[in-house]
């Protein structure tokens, strides 16, 4: 049994876990507060931060005092571990869950996150995990916060649920990929951009989302997207020219990813929103670029991540069950 923990915010963490789990040739279970998880966990939010010491003095990220949801969540996780006896659990992502699993004696792996993550909680989370899986190519420079753990970082390439899909035969105009959570823009901004890009432009956002947008991406002349790891991997699988608009996120994670893409010449990057009428010029520049997304190494990435998790599980089992001397 190999377990997975998926953060409930958005769908990216769950999709990534599902992609890796599909490559593991033994039973897998995904635990999360996301409604699509195999096993649901109680929510540990919201909480009144004042007086709750939600960070335990800065050691962790979210452990509010006297929170019934947090207690029920960790109790459910412990009960599952006791019953399922997982060989390893991959955590995407939560410092608290990774540390708790290790306290239960379960070897844990975690997902590397871009940005500036040199706080005490992240350092602890990376320290207790047996392997840190980076969903970016092996040529990307290791962020400063991971250099201490360089020996256990496995850069597997971008992980996408669309890996291996064939390109669509339905070419169309630009696609604005906002996802379910929308974007950091004034109300109506992207609708204005869509208008200026013409009737062939498709807007995929909170009010017009598709569960499977691969055909939209693969047929797009250019994809305009935020800079989340899943979105980048999905665009790479579709192999389309892209304009990346990094959103404001904790630890500057999207800004860090966008900088890597810009330096590598893989995408146009727009760090400040221009007037809507400027977008046709930006899209034209991006469309003249030959996409080189094979460099993002999405082919086989989920399988490489799965093998890393299995290697951790096998090492742990070998350490606890050494071969008997004289046995064949």
Q: What is the pLDDT of residues 124-145, one digit of tens each?
A: 999 999 999 999 999 999 999 9
Residues 59 and 150 in one domain: yes
125 within some domain = yes
CATH number at residue 304: 3.40.50.2000
The total of structural domains in the chain comes to 2
Residues 186 and 143 in one domain: no
Residues 217 and 307 in one domain: no
183 within some domain = yes
pLDDT of residue 328: 52
d(CA 197, CA 173): 8
Residues 137 and 184 in one domain: no
Residue whose token pair is 């709750």: 52
| Intervals of the chain under pLDDT 70 | 50, 169, 180-183, 321-328
Residues 205 and 314 in one domain: no
Which residues, other chains included, contact 194 with Cβ-Cβ below 8 Å and sequence gap of 6+?
A: 176, 201, 202, 203
165 within some domain = no
pLDDT of residue 272: 96
Residues 10 and 80 in one domain: yes
**Which is it for the CA torsion 310, 119, 18, 157, positive or negative?**
negative
For the entire predicted model, the pTM comes to 0.94
The first and second tokens of residue 104, run together, are 């239960």
Q: What is the pLDDT of residues 230-264, one digit of tens each?
A: 999 999 999 999 999 999 999 999 999 999 999 99
Residues 179 and 314 in one domain: no
Residues 201 and 68 in one domain: no
pLDDT of residue 190: 96
Residues 8 and 118 in one domain: yes
pLDDT of residue 323: 60
Residues 281 and 308 in one domain: no
325 within some domain = no
Residues 151 and 217 in one domain: no
Range(s) of the domain holding residue 146: 2-159+300-320
pLDDT of residue 208: 82
d(CA 34, CA 310): 24
DSSP codes joined into one string, 242-286: EEE-----GGGHHHHHHHHHHHHTSSEE-SS---GGGHHHHHHHH
pLDDT of residue 207: 78
């Amino acid at each position: 049994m190999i377990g997975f923990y998926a953060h409930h915010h958005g769908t990216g963490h769950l999709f990534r876990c599902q992609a890796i789990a599909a490559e593991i040739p033994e039973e897998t279970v995904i635990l999360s507060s996301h409604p699509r998880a195999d096993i649901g966990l109680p929510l540990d939010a919201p909480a009144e931060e004042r007086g709750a010491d939600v960070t335990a003095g800065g050691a962790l990220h979210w452990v509010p005092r006297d929170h019934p949801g947090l207690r029920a969540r960790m109790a459910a996780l412990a009960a599952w571990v006791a019953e399922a006896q997982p060989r390893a659990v991959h955590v995407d992502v939560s410092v608290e869950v990774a540390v708790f699993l290790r306290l239960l004696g379960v070897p844990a792996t975690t997902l590397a996150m871009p940005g500036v993550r040199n706080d005490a909680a992240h350092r602890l989370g990376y320290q207790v995990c047996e392997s840190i899986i980076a969903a970016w190519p092996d040529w990307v420079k290791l962020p400063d916060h991971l250099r201490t753990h360089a020996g256990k970082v496995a850069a597997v390439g971008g992980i996408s649920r669309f890996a291996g899909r064939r390109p669509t035969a339905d070419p169309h105009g630009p696609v604005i990929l906002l996802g379910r959570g929308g974007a950091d823009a004034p109300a109506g901004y992207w609708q204005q951009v869509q208008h200026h890009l013409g009737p062939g432009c498709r807007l995929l956002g909170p009010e017009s989302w598709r569960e499977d947008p691969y055909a939209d991406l693969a047929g797009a002349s250019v994809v305009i997207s935020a800079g989340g790891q899943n979105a980048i991997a999905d665009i790479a699988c579709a192999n389309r020219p892209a304009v990346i608009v990094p959103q404001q996120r904790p630890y500057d994670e999207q800004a860090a990813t966008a900088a890597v893409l810009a330096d590598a010449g893989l995408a146009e990057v727009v760090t400040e929103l221009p007037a809507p009428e400027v977008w046709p010029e930006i899209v034209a520049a991006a469309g003249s670029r030959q996409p080189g997304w094979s460099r993002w190494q999405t082919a086989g990435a989920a399988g490489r991540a799965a093998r890393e998790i299995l290697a951790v599980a096998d090492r742990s089992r070998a350490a606890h069950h050494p071969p008997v001397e004289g046995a064949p």
